[in-house]
């Protein structure tokens, strides 16, 4: 498989509920996570839902870092997708676990890309390949 990018799916449990409902803190932490990974920030957009919860994305030159929080469940879901080998998504993961005071967490890394066909075009992986 030709890997064009890496995608980390983070599950952060038992987090600080107040932090998960603080839009300014969430944006600050997500931007810093992008920085510590080595990514180049292009733009960010965050939204606070009523009565609670934040969604946001930090667009980076290498792709994106996105979050949705459920303060009422002390839970946050984070995606970090990046292209290229210079970005260290795992540093962002370690940073976010710390700043959200996650008591439990899980992560899955997915390699993004496919196989080359006879003409050199990128096509899907075989059906029996797992993500």
Catalytic residue IDs: 63, 68, 83
Write down the residue that tokens 């952060």 correspond to.
12
- As to burial, measured by CB atoms within 10 angstroms (0-12 exposed, 13-18 middle, 19+ buried), residue 34 is buried
d(CA 13, CA 107) in angstroms, rounded, equals 11
DSSP string, 15-43: --HHHHT-HHHHHHHHHHHHHHHT--EEE
């Amino acid at each position: 498989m030709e890997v064009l990018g890496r995608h980390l799916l983070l599950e952060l449990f038992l987090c600080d509920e107040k932090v998960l409902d603080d839009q300014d803190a969430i944006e600050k932490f997500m931007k810093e996570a992008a920085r510590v990974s080595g990514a180049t920030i292009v733009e960010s957009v965050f939204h606070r839902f009523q009565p609670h919860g934040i969604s946001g994305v930090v667009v980076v030159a290498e792709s994106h870092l996105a979050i949705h929080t459920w303060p009422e469940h002390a839970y946050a879901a984070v995606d970090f997708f990046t292209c290229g080998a210079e970005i260290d998504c795992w540093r962002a993961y370690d940073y976010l676990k710390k700043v959200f005071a996650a008591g439990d967490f899980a992560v899955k890394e997915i390699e993004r890309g496919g196989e080359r066909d006879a003409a050199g075009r990128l096509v899907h992986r075989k059906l029996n390949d797992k993500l």
